[in-house]
A and B are shown apart, each in its own frame.
Chain A
């Protein structure tokens, strides 16, 4: 059975790009779930079994940091691995994300090979 993934980004282009990168990697992906902000992502997490979350930071309504804070407050979601894919370059903010339990951080635009390597390390 493949890994179920949730891709959270307000940009449809990035959601499709991440999904495509996963689909051409040799990772065993089960279901793809999508959300355009943190609020919708939490609804998806409540409704589906998700093995890994890919999330942007800068999103309307509920941003990625607020979403991760809420995941950390919920026992069932606190251990779900989150990979942040963002334009963020601030050293202070990247360290804060890691302190919140973010498992990996990738800068946009990411290289597909690097993306696949990071995800494999997390899932295997």
Chain B
């Protein structure tokens, strides 16, 4: 991932979190593995393709952040959230962010097809590996980490 992409990812995710759910995303220096404790997380991924480009965008967020996203989007309490609201909130934020990011990075002349986002839980071992490899842009939403990775495969 190019360094300049990190700034654009921060800009896009900040804007989408704020507009969708009135939540605020800030840049965060990548944590040392020893500084990061595991909390239950979800990883959502969406792929894209155009005539001559393809790749994917992924986001990793604590379940607690996903729940807050869902609560704010729906304007409801956690006890009243429908089943899978956390997963759907994160995939929708990723879907919207991907559309915005591609338009900002490549302009609006290029036509991209997006996949249906996929989502899965992240185990403690996987979380440690994500922190260890340092391939993601690290952000912070409220006091929780948010990892984002954009991969372009030309």
Chain A residues close to B by CB (< 8 Å): 10-14, 16-17, 20, 58-60, 86-93, 107-109, 111
Contacts and interface: CB of A to CB of B under 8 A. Distances in A.
Contacts of A88: 99
8 contacts: A12-B85, A20-B74, A87-B98, A88-B99, A89-B103, A90-B111, A90-B112, A107-B99
Contact of B96 (A20, A91, A108, A111): A108
Given A58-B95, A89-B99, A13 B70 contact: yes
B108 A90 contact: yes
Chain B interface helix/strand/loop/mixed: helix
Nearest to B88: A13
Contacts of B108: 89-91
Given A58-B95, A88-B99, A92-B109, 13 more contacts: A10-B116, A11-B95, A12-B82, A12-B84, A13-B70, A13-B74, A13-B88, A17-B73, A20-B75, A59-B116, A86-B99, A87-B96, A89-B108
Nearest to B50: A90
B100 interface: yes
B23 interface: no
B56 interface: no
B16 interface: yes
B102 interface: yes
A86 B95 CA distance: 9
B30 interface: no
Q: How large is the interface on B (under 10, 10 to 19, 20 to 34, 35 or more residues)?
A: 20 to 34
Interface of B: 16, 19-20, 70, 73-75, 82, 84-85, 88-89, 91-92, 95-96, 98-100, 102-103, 108-112, 114, 116
A11 B116 CA distance: 10
Contact of A93 (B74, B75, B89, B111): B111
A107 B19 CA distance: 12
A14 B74 contact: no
Contact of B74 (A16, A90, A107): A16
